[in-house]
Amino acid sequence: MTEHMGSTEGLELEERNSLRRVANLRTELEDITEVEYRQLRLERVVLVGVWTEGTAEDADNSLAELKLLAETAGSEVLDALIQRRQKPDPATYIGSGKVEDLRAAVVATGADTIICDGALAPSQLRNLEDRCKVKVVDRTALILDIFAQHAKSKEGKAQVELAQLQYQTQRLRGWGGNLSRQAGGQAAGGEGIGGRGPGETKLETDRRRIQMKMTKLRRELKELGKARETKKANRKRHEIPSVSIAGYTNAGKSSLLNRLTDAGVLVEDALFATLDPTTRRTQTSDGRVYTMSDTVGFVRNLPHQLVEAFRSTLEEIAESDLILHVVDGSHPDPGGQIAAVRSVLADVDALDVPEIIVINKADTADPLVIKNLLAREPHAVVVSARTGEGIDELLSAIEADLPQPATHVDVLLPYARGDLLNQIHTQGEIESLDHESDGTHVVARVHGHLAAELADYAVK
Ligand SMILES: Nc1nc2c(ncn2[C@@H]2O[C@H](COP(=O)(O)OP(=O)(O)OP(=O)(O)O)[C@@H](O)[C@H]2O)c(=O)[nH]1
Ligand SMILES: [Mg+2]
């Protein structure tokens, strides 16, 4: 299902394999902390979902996405179960009877992990683990895991680690329960769950270590945030408009950035290929400079911890002048993707930034689906980052939506002030330009601070 591209493939596979080897050291699990155990890569998994509302098709889409996510995390999906229920069982997520089926599927396939398609309460995870005797994780943990594998920059890594620790600190159960028995091969007696005896001390040590680590990460992130602030301030001072490319994961955001700016960003048919935002400088057809940034992809029910951890990155979207909201026109439910993205945008107060809906993958999308999207989203452009279709139209739409410089100037610039003429070119909008005997006569719209610099040369 996933088709990896480029030279990164070898590297990531190697990384994943090395992690697998660690995962196989089951007998030594007692030497590592539970936190490290929880971070071990998933391997052979069974998926399970509860279907509470919507159509059977929605349920299938949701489980198909969970499968993609699991594969992106490097695991092999062996089986998938889905149960129709009014609401998840408070004790075991799926119904008690269904747990037997799940356990049977685990035994039959030899799976070592169960992934649930939702956000589960710590007690639900614990109960399922006890009854199925393998590690049980939820969608949140899975997404956190993918982010952890993909984060490359120092800031990205710190953000993900903080989110993971926040998630785990509420879910530690100590080594006294079934996990350590299963892991360490001790006799499975009738002890209770949740860690007694030595497990409990271990649990406390783990908790304290996590708290210390989190404090340290928060401090680091604060430092790293300062560098970002400086960059932003610089851009603001020069009043360079910024465009953010946002959208559901795998919609084609990086492909679009590459197509629009020759950025050379990694493109992969995998979820969350991009975690570190890339910013490129580019310009309008009349020479005005602006920046365009690729951003981390969104997903339905993006774990709250991640929205928090990535808040500073996401807030850049809120501060940009224009959002290109990319949606995969060939996806079975593009409308659902748009809604999921908008809910994250609302979370970071980015809803009042002007938005262009970019319906991508027009080369493979169903024309009827595109027609319906266009009817619902009037401010939309249909493109294909792959074939280049619609890209010129998109560039014109971007130019038209960029903030217009506010101040009208009419100046005669001496030829010695080529620097100012250059600034008008890159920052302003030129209405007329004539080379005259005593200088260049320019009529243009520019930003306030440039207008002030030009005041000396105003034509009376
Ligand atoms: N057919 C088709 N495929 C496309 C198009 N644009 C992108 N793709 C493919 O879609 C997949 C995802 O593209 P990316 O550009 O990595 O998507 P992204 O939105 O940056 O994804 P993440 O960074 O993982 O959130 C890749 O396999 C691309 O080759 C398009 O216009 N048509
Ligand atoms: Mg990307």
The 10s digit of each residue's pLDDT in 84-103 is: 999 999 999 999 999 999 99
Ligand 1 lined by 50 (C-beta under 6 Å): no
What gap in Å lies between CA 379 and CA 153, rounded to an integer?
34
Q: Which of 173-182, 357-366, 416-425 has the lowest mean pLDDT?
A: 173-182
Quick one: which of 414, 343, 338 has its CA closest to 379?
A: 338
Instruction: Report the phi/psi class of residue 379: left, alpha or beta, with left for phi > 0 and alpha for psi in -120 to 50.
Output: beta
| DSSP code string of 136-190 | EEEHHHHHHHHHHHH--SHHHHHHHHHHHHHHHHTT---TTSHHHHHHHT----S
What gap in Å lies between CA 113 and CA 133, rounded to an integer?
9
Ligand 1 lined by 253 (C-beta under 6 Å): yes
| Type and span of the H or E element at 433 | strand 429-436
Q: Indicate if the pLDDT at residue 22 is higher than 80.
A: no
Give pLDDT tens digits for 166-212: 888 877 765 434 444 333 333 333 344 443 455 556 777 778 888 88
Bridge partners (DSSP) of residue 408 are: 445
Q: Indicate if the pLDDT at residue 65 is higher than 60.
A: yes
Q: Indicate if the pLDDT at residue 268 is higher than 80.
A: no
Quick one: which of 140, 90, 83 has its CA closest to 115?
A: 140
Instruction: Please identify which residue in the block is written with the tokens 């408070």.
Output: 90
- What confidence score (pLDDT) does residue 1 get? 33
| The two three-digit tokens of residue 265, written as one number | 């960003």
- What confidence score (pLDDT) does residue 39 get? 53
Quick one: which of 160, 162, 209 has its CA closest to 33?
A: 209
Helices (H), 277-347: 304-309, 311-318, 334-347
Ligand 1 lined by 150 (C-beta under 6 Å): no
Q: What is the mean pLDDT of the chain?
A: 81
Domains of the chain by range and CATH?
Answer: 8-154+170-210 (3.40.50.11060), 239-401 (3.40.50.300), 407-457 (no CATH)
- What confidence score (pLDDT) does residue 207 get? 81
Quick one: which of 179, 175, 180, 183 has its CA closest to 200?
A: 175
Are 85 and 121 in contact by the 8 Å Cβ rule? The answer is no
- What confidence score (pLDDT) does residue 128 get? 93
Query: At a CB cut-off of 8 Å and minimum separation 6, what does 101 contact?
Result: 81
Ligand 1 lined by 385 (C-beta under 6 Å): yes
- What confidence score (pLDDT) does residue 24 get? 36
Q: At 306, is the pLDDT very low, low, confident or very high (cuts 50, 70, 90)?
A: confident
Q: How far is CA 127 from the centre of its chain?
A: 30
- What confidence score (pLDDT) does residue 8 get? 36
| Type and span of the H or E element at 127 | helix 122-132
DSSP 269: B
Neighbours of 23 (CB within 10 A): 15
Bridge partners (DSSP) of residue 381 are: 358
How many Å lie between the centroid of ligand 2 and the Cα of residue 252?
7
Check: pTM over 0.80? Answer yes or no. Answer: no
Ligand 1 lined by 363 (C-beta under 6 Å): yes
What gap in Å lies between CA 93 and CA 50, rounded to an integer?
8
Ligand 1 lined by 113 (C-beta under 6 Å): no
Highest mean pLDDT (candidates 1-10, 184-193, 301-310): 301-310
More confidently predicted of 142 and 202 = 142
How many Å lie between the centroid of ligand 2 and the Cα of residue 114?
28
Bridge partners (DSSP) of residue 131 are: none
Residue with CA closest to ligand 1 atom 2: 361
Residue with CA closest to ligand 1 atom 26: 269
Q: At 52, is the pLDDT very low, low, confident or very high (cuts 50, 70, 90)?
A: confident
User: Which of 250, 337, 359 should be mutated for ligand 1, with most atoms under 8 A from CB?
Assistant: 250
Residue with CA closest to ligand 1 atom 9: 252
3 state DSSP class of 192: coil
User: Which of 68, 268, 326 should be mutated for ligand 1, with most atoms under 8 A from CB?
Assistant: 268
Give pLDDT tens digits for 223-257: 887 877 777 777 666 678 999 999 998 899 989 99
More confidently predicted of 47 and 221 = 47
Quick one: which of 322, 333, 332 has its CA closest to 381?
A: 322
Helices (H), 238-366: 253-261, 304-309, 311-318, 334-347
End-to-end Cα distance, the chain: 68
More confidently predicted of 353 and 297 = 353
Neighbours of 159 (CB within 10 A): 27
DSSP 31: G
Q: Which of 264-278, 369-383, 389-403, 409-423 has the lowest mean pLDDT?
A: 264-278
Q: At 435, is the pLDDT very low, low, confident or very high (cuts 50, 70, 90)?
A: very high
Handedness of CA 306, 14, 172, 47 (dihedral sign): positive
- What confidence score (pLDDT) does residue 174 get? 56
Ligand 1 lined by 147 (C-beta under 6 Å): no
Which atom of ligand 1 has the smallest separation from the CA of 255? 15
Which atom of ligand 1 has the smallest separation from the CA of 271? 24
User: Which of 150, 256, 257, 267 should be mutated for ligand 1, with most atoms under 8 A from CB?
Assistant: 267
3 state DSSP class of 197: coil
337 to 14, 37, 299, 329: CA distances (angstroms): 32, 33, 8, 10
